[in-house]
């Protein structure tokens, strides 16, 4: 409040005979900022839990469907850390601020990343029925290659639209579009190079345990 009054007084002193008029003034307290952060945390957590149980249910026809939900959550954790980390660096370099638009875009990134992951997982589920004899690792490789072009093309077209909004959409949605652009790139990467390898590692671990039980 004191700084605001000082600025108005200084502006009025620069223009003799005319007083500076305050059009709007917003002040976000530390308590309100903590409340926004806490609500955002619960929203992200609720989205993650919902996604986990949805994937568990959606892939109930394959062995150990819980692995698919777990792999998706690991990919989402990767996306979260990457988006927050890159946004933090942009804050240091270009004074980009974390606000409500950031959290909205953050949740959208969750949905976009999971959408890509589900496409890959769904192709894996289909190929498990037809090329199971090749081994799980080979099935993953075939599935990723079959849907890689679709994933890249979809992400590129979406990213083009976001870049246009970032360039000409104005300052109001600038933070939103920046977060979304980062999330699209990271989410596309994680669907192929994080979620699928985690799924493979989980399968291999289960296979080793099964073999150890047989030996006993």
The confidence score (pLDDT) of residue 128 equals 85
Q: What is the dihedral of CA 156, 158, 160, 164, to 10 degrees?
A: -170
Q: What is the pLDDT along the chain (216 residues), one digit of tens a residue?
A: 788 888 888 888 887 777 788 887 776 667 677 887 788 888 888 988 998 999 889 888 888 889 999 999 999 999 999 999 998 999 899 888 787 788 888 888 888 889 889 999 999 988 888 776 678 889 999 999 999 998 999 999 999 999 999 999 888 888 899 999 999 999 999 999 999 999 999 989 988 888 888 877
Q: Is 12 exposed, middle or buried (0-12, 13-18, 19+ CB in 10 A)?
A: middle
DSSP assigned state of 63? S
- pLDDT score at 132: 60
The structure tokens 């993650």 sit at 48
Look at residue 197 in the predicted model and tell me its pLDDT: 94
Confidence at residue 210, expressed as pLDDT on a 0 to 100 scale: 84
pTM: 0.80
CB 150 within 8 A of CB 79: no
């Amino acid at each position: 409040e004191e700084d605001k009054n000082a600025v108005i007084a200084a502006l009025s002193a620069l223009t003799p005979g005319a007083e500076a008029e305050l059009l709007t003034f917003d002040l976000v307290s530390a308590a309100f900022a903590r409340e926004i952060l806490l609500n955002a945390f619960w929203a992200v957590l609720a989205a993650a839990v919902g996604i986990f149980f949805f994937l568990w249910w959606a892939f109930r026809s394959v062995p150990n469907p819980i692995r698919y939900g777990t792999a998706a959550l690991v990919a989402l954790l990767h996306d979260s850390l990457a988006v927050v980390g890159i946004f933090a660096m942009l804050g240091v370099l270009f004074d980009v601020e974390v606000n409500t638009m950031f959290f909205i875009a953050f949740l959208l990134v969750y949905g976009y990343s999971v959408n890509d992951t589900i496409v890959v997982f769904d192709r894996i589920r289909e190929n498990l029925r037809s090329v199971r004899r090749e081994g799980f690792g080979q099935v993953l490789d075939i599935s990723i290659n079959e849907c890689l072009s679709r994933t890249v093309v979809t992400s590129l077209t979406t990213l083009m639209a976001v870049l246009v909004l970032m360039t000409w959409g104005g300052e109001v949605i600038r933070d939103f579009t920046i977060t979304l652009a980062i999330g699209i790139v990271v989410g596309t990467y994680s669907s192929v190079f994080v979620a699928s390898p985690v799924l493979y590692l989980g399968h291999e671990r289960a296979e080793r345990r099964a073999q150890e039980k047989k030996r006993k």
